């Protein structure tokens, strides 16, 4: 596992020890960024269920200004911090050991608005994909926000949620990547 592109391209990343997390492969990571736009001109990203932090670190390497990483697993938090130190990106990151829903509420108090949200929960936590709407409800996403969901091929996500619409869906082995774009609340239209 390594950083695929950008300012810290090629730096290897540590995986979380044990079997509690499932790192996104370099091939899938590269595909994700090809789908959402390979590089960014700033903005904030949220990496919920961050695991090793690979997706958020990739976003930082590709031009996102700042990433907030959350995971409730102590080993994951240690791994994220180690990977941020190794890539020298720690000053552009906030790392929280917290349940994802609680982390969103804390972020609301800080007035944070994300342009990019990564949702890669353990596959058995299907309800966690509802956190994209929770983030929008709390005012944590910009009007051009994109959500990247990584899920098992047996998990079927809706094409339209309360605030988001899926515009891409790709299958990689047993993993599906679904990409959503903020559309405003159902029935509300943005120009």
Residue 119 sits in which domain range?
26-182
Per-residue buried b or exposed e for 149-165, using 16+ beta carbons within 10 Å of the residue's own CB: bbbeeeeebeeebbbbe
Task: Give the domain CATH number at 120.
Answer: 3.40.50.150
CA–chain centroid gap for 126, Å, is 16
Tens-binned pLDDT, residue by residue, of the chain (191 aa): 899 999 999 999 999 887 666 677 788 888 899 899 878 999 999 999 999 999 999 999 999 999 999 999 999 999 999 999 999 999 999 999 999 988 898 889 888 899 999 999 987 788 889 999 999 999 999 999 999 999 988 888 999 999 999 999 999 888 899 999 999 876 555 44
**The total number of structural domains that make up the chain:** 1
């Amino acid at each position: 596992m390594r950083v695929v592109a950008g300012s810290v391209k090629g730096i290897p990343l540590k995986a979380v020890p044990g079997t509690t997390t499932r790192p996104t492969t370099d091939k899938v990571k590269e595909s994700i960024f090809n789908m959402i736009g390979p590089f960014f001109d700033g903005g904030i990203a949220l990496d919920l269920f961050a695991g090793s932090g690979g997706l958020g670190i990739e976003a930082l390497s590709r031009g996102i200004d700042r990433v907030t990483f959350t995971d409730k697993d102590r080993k994951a938090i240690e791994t994220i911090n180690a990977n941020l130190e190794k890539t020298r990106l720690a000053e552009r990151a906030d790392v929280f050991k917290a349940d994802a829903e609680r982390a969103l509420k804390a972020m609301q108090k800080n007035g944070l608005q994300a342009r990019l949200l990564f949702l890669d929960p353990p596959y058995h936590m299907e309800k966690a994909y509802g956190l994209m709407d929770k983030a929008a409800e709390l005012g944590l996403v910009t009007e051009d926000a994109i959500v990247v969901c990584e899920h098992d091929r047996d998990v079927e996500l809706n094409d339209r949620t309360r605030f988001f619409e899926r515009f891409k869906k790709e299958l990689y082995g047993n993993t599906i990547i679904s990409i959503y774009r903020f559309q405003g609340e159902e029935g509300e239209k943005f120009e």
